[in-house]
Amino acid sequence: MVFCQLGGGCELPLISIPPDLTFIVLAAVTIIGSIMALQAKELIYGAVALAVSFIGIAGFFVFLDAPYLAMLQIAIYVGAIVVLILFTIMLVRREATDELTDRPERGEGAVGVWLAGLIAVAISGVAALAGPNLPAEPQPASLPISDLGPTLALQYPIPLIILALLMSAALLGAMALAKLEK
């Protein structure tokens, strides 16, 4: 019996590696990262876990055939916003952060797991019932990178302009806030 083919995937009855394996790994990284970002005792660890979950999302963008967006995600989110978060955490007094350790309520984790299990059962039940009538997996629209610019400029000029105004407003607002506290 031939399970694995060289250059192809391994075909086991339920899942076929590698696309599903990639999805599972990416999803695990993202979800565990975000859970740890919420639950970490040290704020810095939380920020690092947040960066990890952002990288997981960037991995999803690569998986969905949008590598430019993935690089944009890493450069902007992990490269700039996480830096801002880290910088802010480091400049806050220790006393303000030490009181944030609130103990989880009794059974909080159990309720969460139970709800997640309910949702999983519901989705797989619907999928199993629909059976062969499930629509085919939608193929992500493949946009070559050289088409990204023209598409953006020609089909979405108004969002571009609004984006320019929004970013300028956000930046000037942040500077005004910074000036106010002096």
Partner 1 sequence: MALNPWIVIVIWAVIIIIMMSAMLALPMFWSRRKPDPLRDMPFESGQVPQGEGRRRLVMQYYPYLLMFVVFDVVAMFLFAWGISFTKMPLDASLPVILFLVLAAPPLGYALHLALNRENW
Partner 2 sequence: MVGFPPTPAEILALIIAIVTSHQFITIVVFPGFIHLLLVVAFLTWYERKVLARIQLRIGPLYAGPGGILQPLADGVKLIFKEIMIPYKADRPLFLGVPLMLALLAALPFAVIPFGQNWVIANLDVGIVFVFAAASLFPSMILLFAWASNSKYPFLGGLRSLFQQVGYEIPMWISTLSVVMLAGSLNLVDIVNAQSRIWFIIPAFLSFIVFFIAAMAELERLPFDLPTAEPELVAGWVTESSGAIFMLIFMGLYMKLYLMSALVTVLFLGGWWGPAFLPQPVWFIIKTLIVATFIIIPRGVYPRIRVDMLIKLGWTRLLIIALANVFLTILLLSSGVLSAWGWL
Q: Interface with partner 1 by CB under 8 A: which residues?
A: 6-7, 62, 67-68, 72, 75-76, 79-81, 83-84, 87, 90-94, 145-150, 152-154, 157, 160-161, 163-165, 167-172, 174-175, 178-179, 182
Cβ 7 to partner 2 shortest distance, Å: 9
Q: Is 86 exposed, middle or buried (0-12, 13-18, 19+ CB in 10 A)?
A: middle
Helix (H, G, I), strand (E, B) or coil at 103: coil
Closest CA to 55 of 38, 79, 39: 79
Applying CB under 8 A, the span of 2-10, 115-123, 154-162, 173-181 interacting with partner 2 comes to 2-10
Q: Residue 63 carries which side chain, given as an amino acid letter?
A: F
DSSP alpha helix (H) spans, 64-107? 67-73, 82-90, 94-98
Cβ 124 to partner 1 shortest distance, Å: 29
Draw the binding track, 20-59, toward partner 2 (x: CB under 8 A; -: no contact): ----------------------x-x---x--x--------
Asked whether position 82 contacts partner 2 by CB under 8 A, the answer is yes
Per DSSP, 11 falls in state E
Name which of 45 and 114 has its Cβ closer to partner 1.
45
Q: Euclidean distance between the first and final Cα of the chain, in Å?
A: 75
Cβ 36 to partner 2 shortest distance, Å: 12
Residue 44 and residue 97: Cα distance in Å, rounded?
11
Asked whether position 142 contacts partner 2 by CB under 8 A, the answer is no
Cβ 10 to partner 2 shortest distance, Å: 10
Phi, psi of 181 (to 5 degrees): -85, 0
Asked whether position 74 contacts partner 2 by CB under 8 A, the answer is yes
Residue 25 contact, options partner 2, partner 1, none, Cβ 5-8 Å cut-off depending on partner type: none
Applying CB under 8 A, the span of 72-80, 115-123, 126-134, 167-175 interacting with partner 2 comes to 72-80
For 40, 108, 120, the CA distances from 105, given in Å and listed in that order, are 16, 5, 24
Residue 139 and residue 45: Cα distance in Å, rounded?
37
